[in-house]
Amino acid sequence: MTGLAAAAVPPVPETHPGTDGEAVGTEAADTGPADVERTDAERTDVELTDVELAEVAAGQPLGSPRWGEGDPGSIYEFIRVATFAIGPDGLISQWSERAADFFAVPAAEALGADPVTTLVPRELWRRGRARLERTLAGEEWVGTAPYRGADGREGLAEVYLMPAVGPNGEQAAQESSPGALCLAVDLGRLRRIETELAASEAVFGQTPSGFFLFDRQLRLQRVNRAFAEAVGLEPEALAGRGAHDLFTTSEAERLESALRQVLQTGDPVVDLRFSGAVPTRAGERRWAISLYRLTGPGERPMGVAGQVNDITSRHVAEREAAGVRRNLALVNEASAHIGSTLDLETTAKELLDVVVPQFCDLATVDLYSSLLSGESGPSLTGAGGHPYDGSGELRRVAVSSVVGAGAVGFGSLLGGDQGGYPDQAYGARLAAAEAGGTLCYPPRSPHARALRTGRSAIPDPGPDPLLRSTLVVPLVARDVVLGLIQLSRAIGSEPFDARDVAIAEEIAARAAVCVDNARLYRREHERALILQRSLLPPGNPEASGLEIACRYRPSNNNTEVGGDWFDVIPLPGNRTALVIGDVMGRGLRAAVAMGQLRTAVRTLAMLDLEPAEVLGSLDEIARGLGDPGPGSMPGYGSQRTGDNDAPEVYLATCVYAVYDAVTRRCVFANAGHLPPALLSPGEPARMLDVPPGLPLGVGGEPFEEVTLTIPDGALLGLYTDGLVESRKHQLDEGLQAFRIALENGAPVLETLCDEVLNELDPHHGEDDIALLLARVRALPEDAVGDWQLPPEPTSVAKARERACAWLLTRGLDDLVDTTELLVSELVTNALRHGRGDIRVRLLRDATVVCEVWDDGYAQPRRRRAQETDEGGRGLQLVSLLAERWGSRRTPHGKIVWFELGL
């Protein structure tokens, strides 16, 4: 107890009695300016602090160095201790502030009081009195005694009574005793501190985590064995060291900044990451440090404590897990990003957008040239049982790089500079193959080996100063080699490892399926385009009495073909059928449906049906398109692609017009299409009021006809919705723009077509466009000869005479004999098989056409006459001598005609 009392009593605030018995406060924790100016001789004994009283009792001179003075965190701040002095008369002569707090007796009551009766329980007065007398006589005593604290609870104190000593340390004689000094310590709190110290020592020494304590000067005061092992030094060697003695400059500055922040603010720092080297372990280590401030009574900072854990293995695991997550995210991005279109080049660029720069720094995609035309690549099994050698022409369809300029380093990357290939200059040539260029890999190259085997390869990047590692991955889908992707990482990046190869192969496999789908679609698309264009009229067709100009412009979206079509069909009698239509939907089936409808229109036109009848028949055909037979929905054209698929209905819009060059009359019928435009000389362009009707394939309603006489020089415009419809403007605005373009266009029809397309295509080809312009050119007055003859035998001779005279007048002498014979045959048949008056008409345009009308409905039929037959050879003569012949019905009979070339 004596040693503890002498060593554990740093200066604390004290209260001393004045000469009049009132308390006077002084601050003894830090010596103030007044204490510095006064000497020890000038200070009275009543102004001594607890520490000074302990020094006097221990025989130490005043002002000697005291442990823990002004140092927060000393044990004196945590234990309950009190000192007081007893005078020679046995009464209390000095009473400290701690004593007043300890015994709950103020200084005013304690000074001059009997310590035994004041502090000792009544039942212990006798023993206390005897002990005090022996102490005053010069005998020391250490023991325990009960006491009552300020909170009213009783406690047990360890008491140290010792006689006072003189200035030189000698003990006074009994008859001249100067008094005694008493020191009391709360045993309950002391035992708790001892237990806490023991537990703290056990935790500090036995925990597997590293613990450390920095003082207020940021120097290590204490560390445990785990911390010493974490930094690779002995615990004794760490005392007094700072952050710069443990870590590199940058890491030490981070640690010092964190320590200073915690010391100043009191806010803890958790899981601060540091790295460095340890002398006893190989490789760089990683630590996680948590810091918190230690404070003593009065919230006085004592220093910064912390805990450190070696997380090197966890860091490696976290980095690997982060790599796995990053790779999974890359694969997911590839699944979502690649294949958004069915275009080969776009798909290749999407692949590079995924891998550069997330996976590599430079990448290229090479595809076999045959794929670009929709053909298949080589099979891994080879053709005809012969193994594939990896050769073949490839085209570089995409390049992406974040290293320097695009293709830097390709020559050495491909091995040409190292002599790895038979041709030393091959790498240099290959380096020049940018996007769009063609190349062939030598059979012994790693690229050809990858194409041949379908397995990835890691070629040597060579001495290239920019590239660290290269990976070649073939693109294989459905056992067909499509090409390869080449991935490279620059200097400073990690080389490709087995995990990277697996990720690259997974991405390549997904991209290969998308590339193959794009190839298959391109093949279907090319075939559909060929089909579609083969069904359109070649060039600008000719028509009697009309100047024709037409254009077909496919949409800029190459993923689908459309169903737009137009046609110009010559009809007998210098008539022309003008047709324009649009099958709803896109793709190969729409193109096929368009071809079927176009063929049906031509067939129906040859029957010389009225426009409304043609559209009615087309409607029935459209309703039956794709009908697989029994089991389909009745009345609808459908095509089932599965047992549960709904039938697909084919719908189309169409305008069918028949123009007669002799009468300049045009008969229109519309099936849900946009109205034709008419620009007459001297008038503004207008949309013809033709009843729109229902689209083909809907059925249920008849179509109406409108007949108009079109003036000479007028311009008729037929078009599809792609010309006037757009997401950027209303339909009325497009129709108005079309009319204005026709009014302000060039007089030359071909130039006008181009101007209209350029003017009315601001939406950059959102849909297919078909445009058919026809300008009326009236036939000369002498181009037609028309005669009405009675149903008499003499009409045959009259018809011959008038026809021959008409030909001779126009200088067509070479046609007189043939025309005379054929007119005789047709008029004779009209008299024999027909009824009513006979009408003969000759038309001269590109050819000479002769038409014979009668009122009979029976159509002529050519038959093979036997040797004994007297007749039946007339139509055979017509067929042999005329370039073409035929017959058609009229509302009141029929017309039989033949045509002779000029």
Full DSSP string of 314-375 = HHHHHHHHHHHHHHHHHHHHHHHHTTSSS-HHHHHHHHHHHHTTTT-SEEEEEEEGGGGGT-
Ranking 162-166, 237-241, 341-345, 878-882 by mean pLDDT, the lowest is 162-166
pLDDT for the residue numbered 97: 85
Strands (E), 29-152: 81-86, 92-95, 141-148
Token pair recorded at residue 288: 């996680």
Q: What is the pLDDT of residue 211?
A: 82
Which one, of 57, 47, 56, lies nearest residue 17 by Cα? 47
- Looking at the chain, the whole-number percentage of residues with pLDDT higher than 70 is 77
Least confident segment among 484-498, 502-516, 721-735: 721-735
* Among 65-74, 320-329, 593-602, 611-620, the range of highest mean pLDDT: 611-620
Q: Bigger pLDDT: 578 or 247?
A: 578
Q: What are phi and psi of 513, to 5 degrees?
A: -65, -40
pLDDT (0 to 100) of residue 64: 47
407 has a pLDDT exceeding 70? no
Q: How many CB atoms lie within 10 A of CB 683?
A: 11
Is the bond preceding residue 357 a cis peptide, omega within 30 degrees?
yes
Asked if 432 and 426 count as a contact pair (C-beta separation under 8 A), the reply is no
Under DSSP, the state recorded for 457 is B
Q: Using the predicted structure, report yes or no on whether residue 271 has a pLDDT greater than 90.
A: no
As a whole number of angstroms, the distance between CA 23 and CA 15 comes to: 6
What confidence score (pLDDT) does residue 197 get?
A: 76
Identify which of 270-274, 323-327, 406-410, 743-747 has the greatest average pLDDT: 743-747
Measured distance CA(878)–CA(864) in Å, rounded: 13
**661 and 780 Cβ atoms separated by less than 8 Å:** no
* Contact predicate 598/625, CB 8 Å: no
Compute the radius of gyration of the chain from its Cα atoms. Answer: 57
pLDDT at 34: 33
Residue 387's pLDDT is what? 62
Bridge partners, 81 (sequence order): 185
Residue with tokens 């009668």: 854
Mean pLDDT of 382-409: 69
252 versus 78: which is more confidently predicted?
252
Res 15 pLDDT > 50: no
Task: State the Cα–Cα distance between residues 164 and 132, nearest whole angstrom.
Answer: 12
- Could you give phi then psi for residue 209, rounded to 5 degrees? -85, 150
For residue 507, the model assigns a pLDDT of 93
What is the number of other CB atoms lying within 10 angstroms of the CB of residue 451?
32
User: For the chain, what percent of residues have pLDDT higher than 90?
Assistant: 22
Q: Tell me how many degrees the CA angle 789-795-796 measures, rounded to the nearest 5.
A: 130
Which residues, including other chains, have CB under 8 Å from residue 350's CB and lie 6 or more apart?
337, 338, 339, 340
pLDDT digits 0-9 by tens, 453-478? 889 998 876 666 778 889 999 999 98
Distance CA 11, CA 31 (A): 9
Residues β-bridged to residue 166: none
Residue 68 corresponds to which tokens in the numbers above? 């823990």
Instruction: Provide the pLDDT confidence category of residue 541 given band limits of 50, 70 and 90.
Output: confident
Does residue 512 have a pLDDT over 50?
A: yes
Of 309-318, 605-614, 687-696, 848-857, the poorest mean pLDDT is in: 309-318
Comparing 169-173, 223-227, 292-296, 676-680, the range with the smallest average pLDDT is: 169-173
The answer to whether the beta carbons of residues 569 and 601 sit under 8 Å apart is yes
Angle between helices 498-534 and 312-337 (to 10 degrees): 10
> What domains are defined for the chain?
2-192 (3.30.450.20), 207-310 (3.30.450.20), 340-526 (3.30.450.40), 538-776 (3.60.40.10), 783-901 (3.30.565.10)
The pLDDT score that the predictor gives to residue 167 is 56
Q: Which two tokens stand for residue 290?
A: 């948590």
* SS3 at position 752: helix
pTM for the model: 0.54
* Average pLDDT of the segment spanning 886-899: 87
Tokens read off for 45? 């004994």
What's the pLDDT score for residue 371? 84
User: Both tokens of residue 118?
Assistant: 């004041």
Looking at residue 460, its amino acid is D
Distance from C-alpha of 24 to C-alpha of 39, rounded to nearest angstrom? 19
Q: Which of 579, 725, 735, 759 is nearest to 658 (CA)?
A: 579
**Residue 244 exposure: Cα atoms within 13 Å on the Cβ side:** 3
Host H or E run for residue 582: strand 575-583
d(CA 139, CA 137): 6
CA distances from 866 to 444, 824, 859, 881 (A): 79, 22, 21, 20
Residues facing 692 on adjacent strands? none
Cβ-proximal residues to 429 (8 Å cutoff; 6+ apart), any chain: 416, 439
Strand 81-86 relative to strand 180-186, pairing: antiparallel
Show the tokens assigned to 507. Answer: 């991405």
301 CB-near residues (< 8 Å, 6+ apart):
72, 216, 263, 266, 293, 294, 295
Query: Lowest-pLDDT range, 76-80, 98-102, 230-234, 386-390?
Result: 386-390
Cα separation, 839 vs 784, whole angstroms: 13
> Widest CA span of the chain, in angstroms?
190
Q: Which of 30-44, 745-759, 811-825 has the lowest mean pLDDT?
A: 30-44
Helix H or strand E segment including 475: strand 467-477
Instruction: Please tell me the predicted confidence (pLDDT) of residue 385.
Output: 54
Cα gap 574→4, rounded to integer Å: 135
Within 13 A of 175's CA, how many CA atoms are on the CB side?
0
Please give the pLDDT value at position 532: 67
- Residues 68 and 259: their CA atoms lie apart, in Å, by 23
Confidence of residue 150 (pLDDT cuts 50, 70, 90): low
The whole-number pLDDT of residue 684 equals 93
The pair phi, psi for residue 298, each rounded to 5°, is: 80, 15
Instruction: Return the closest-CA partner of residue 518 out of 259, 340, 733.
Output: 340
pLDDT for 624-680, tens place per residue?
875 555 544 444 344 444 444 545 667 899 999 999 999 999 999 999 999 999 999
Are 550 and 771 in contact by the 8 Å Cβ rule? The answer is yes
Beta-carbon-side half-sphere exposure of residue 643 (alpha carbons within 13 Å):
0
End-to-end, the C-alpha distance of the chain in Å comes to 146
User: What would the two tokens of residue 787 be?
Assistant: 């005669």
Could you tell me if 605 and 673 are in contact, meaning their C-beta atoms sit under 8 angstroms apart? no
DSSP string, 200-232: HHHHHHH-SSEEEEE-TTS-EEEE-HHHHHHHT
Between these two residues, 708 and 248, which has the higher pLDDT value?
708
Instruction: Give mean pLDDT, residues 608-619.
Output: 91
Whether the pLDDT of residue 718 is over 70: the answer is yes
Mean pLDDT over 204-232 rounds to 82
More confident residue, 24 or 308: 308
For the stretch 328-333, contacts whose Cβ atoms lie closer than 8 Å and that sit 24 or more positions apart, written own/partner, are 330/354, 330/355, 330/358, 330/359, 330/503, 330/507, 331/503, 331/506, 331/507, 331/510, 333/358
